[in-house]
Amino acid sequence: MSTLDEAPAAWQEQQPSGAPAAKRNWRETIIETVIRLCGISAVVIITLIFLFLLKEGAPAFMQVPIRDLLGVRWYPIEDMFGLLPLLVGSLLVTIGAVVIAVPLGLTTAVYLGEFAPPWLREILKPVIEVLAGIPSIVLGFLGWVALAPLIQAAGAATGLTAFTGAIILAYMALPTIISITEDALYAVPKEYRDGALALGATQWQTIWRVVLPAARSGIVIAVMLGVGRAIGETMAVMLVTGNAANIPAFGLGAWFQPVRTMTATIAAEMGEVAQGSLHYSVLFAIGIVLFLITFAFNSLATRFIGGRSRRRGGQI
Amino acid sequence: MMHLKCLHRKRPGNRAFLLFIGGVLLLLVAGCGRSGGGTAVAAETEQRAIQNKGSDTLVNVALAWAEAYRVVDPTVSIAVTGGGSGTGIAALINGTVDIANASRPMKDDEINQALANGIDPVEHVVAIDALAVILNLENPVSELTIDQLADIYTGRITNWQEVGGNDAPIVLLSRETNSGTHVYFLEEVVRKGEKENKDIFAPQTLLMPSSVGITSEIRRNPNAIGYDGLGYVDTTHEKVVAVAADSNSPFVSPSVATAASGEYPLSRNLFMYTAGEPTGVVAEYFGWILGPEGQAIVAKLGFVPLTAE
């Protein structure tokens, strides 16, 4: 509030006085510098985080042979540091979450943006945003208390499985996917729709062939942010996936086995591990692997947006 | 205009700051008065500080004792550190601690070392640590030998049928690897107490972040098996398995009595060692630890108290 009050006041003060230009330039320089620093700080912080990860995690890559890191057993108190089960666990949960959240999120957004009557939209949008505000641990607890027994009743040996984690993560990613996709659809010019309808396309054809492709870059961002939230989520996953560092047999049944994710491993073990020990640096090495995966994923998505959608006018 | 606003805003801040400083000064004066009193009393009598070090299994109990004892006798200060039984015993041998905590008895060479240093270590059993193996109430299995438990937890047995239960897969539950209970179970059950045995938990073992995680999964999953400190088990909601050390030994249900007598195979005594018979404050402290108040704390932290027999 106060900055809003002060800005015009300062401006008014300066008008009558003789030399406003110099003073204004001086102020603008400061403001510009502050803004620039804020922009740069993000880059600097990310670089520092990565350097820190490298510094703490590097001993793991030096002291544990790569063959051991690619092993199938994770049992740190016996110096078994096979990362494969953790990698498989994270992948299963994340892929499951994407498969559930993306179609559900896109259809919800299309319904909200294209079909829903305005009064219903006014109700649904805020409710979805409330879903985004639920702390992840609460969703995790819900998964533990309500969802896991259902999955066990459906025939799994235990309700704490990769699938349980995937559902919880999907619901965590949904609000992001829905809101951003809906914004992207909203940004598609009305003329596109009018043009398609005028050519005789049905409403569905218009949406599928014109509106969705036009909003593609926004939709990709929506999915990326949603998945980004899913892959890094820790506490909820730790509660509902069972944390068994096991590589399930290949096939659909794999989702109904307990798994241990990389994030949950770091969270569960970092608290008690001796600082500077091999186990400690291996946990940081897991952090590096996670960082690289997200980095690769983001670069791919950015490239996808940059390459394809510019030609369509760069809408979002 | 802007400046005026700032001045107005600063005023209450100043007052609050003065109040804060005043408060800090008052606290400092009060604090000085109290600690001054304490040292005066300490000077009158002999030793008033107890150094206590050792076992990580026992460290939480030792900390809770030390904390509660401050209320009983505010003039005694007790410093508790962990580090492991070996660390504590080594410190006792070197004469740097008054009490060493240990989750195992002292070895012969440790006792000889101590005697060589002119220290006569005296053993006190202060609590009992017992692990209960728990099942869902619907599970028909009620007795298991250590060998069967080892086969189950290493994944050699994967179906309840093989130990006399239903035709259903076994769901293994364990604490996280950083828990002392996990390590105890690994050594005494999975490896059957054999030093050269290098078996580990089957990879499909679910590692639960807490005791509550294990009990609540046990309550809803008829195929699950887990273990927990005896003090945490509620027999109305979980079935406690009777365990036999081997096929020739009787099956024993864990209880305070069987744990204390050593009949139950998954129990161990927790010790405190002193250099010679304790005297003065240390003796008073031991009296309180072994009394009802100290043993109530043992029960509260999930261990088996000595007095409840």
pLDDT in tens, A241-256: 999 998 888 878 889 9
Contact: B220, A152; criterion CB under 8 Å: yes
Which residues of B are less than 8 Å from A164 in CB distance? none
Task: Chain B: give the shortest CA distance to residue A155, in Å.
Answer: 11
Q: Looking at the complex, does the CB of residue B200 fall below 8 Å from at least one CB of chain A?
A: yes
Range B68-72 average pLDDT: 92
Helices (H) and strands (E) in chain B, counts: 10, 11
- Per DSSP bridges, beta strands B171-175 and B224-229 are parallel
d(CA A291, CA A49): 10
Give B131-144 pLDDT, tens digit per residue: 899 999 999 999 99
Mean pLDDT value across residues A124-133: 89
Contact A246 B204 (CB under 8 A): yes
Report, in this order, helix, strand and coil percent for chain B, each rounded to 5: 45, 20, 35
Q: In chain B, whose CA is at the least distance from the CA of A159?
A: B221
What does the alpha-carbon distance between residue B302 and residue B231 come to, in Å, rounded to a whole number? 4
| Cα B234 from Cα A103, distance rounded (Å) | 45
Read off the pTM. Answer: 0.73
Cα–Cα distance measured from residue A276 to residue A56, given in angstroms and rounded to the nearest whole number: 8
Give the minimum alpha-carbon distance from A242 to chain B in angstroms, rounded to a whole number: 5
**Which of A5, A244, A271 minimises the CB distance to B206?**
A244
A129 touches B: beta carbon within 8 Å: no
Chain A with chain B: Cβ pairs closer than 8 A: 71
Q: Give CA–CA dist B146/A57, Å, rounded.
A: 39
Question: Cβ of B224 under 8 Å from any chain A Cβ?
Answer: yes
* Residues of chain B neighbouring A159 (CB-CB closer than 8 A): 220-221
Is B1 part of the contact surface with chain A (CB cutoff 8 Å)? yes
For residue A82, what is the nearest residue in chain B, using CA coordinates?
B203
Q: What is the pLDDT of residues B201-242, one digit of tens each?
A: 999 999 987 778 889 999 999 999 999 888 778 889 999 999
pLDDT digits (tens, 9 = 90+) for B37-58: 334 344 444 568 899 998 877 8
Amino acid at A183: D
Q: How would you classify the pairing of strands B49-54 and B77-83?
A: parallel
Inter-chain touch B207–A243, beta carbons under 8 Å: yes
Of B2, B171, B208, the CB nearest to A9: B2
Residues in chain A closer than 8 A to B138 (CB atoms): none
For chain A, domains (ranges, CATH) are: 66-314 (1.10.3720.10)
CA B39/CA B46 separation, integer angstroms: 12
Query: What confidence score (pLDDT) does residue A25 get?
Result: 86
Residue A158 CA to residue A241 CA, distance in Å, equals 10
Which tokens hold the place of A108?
Answer: 């919800």
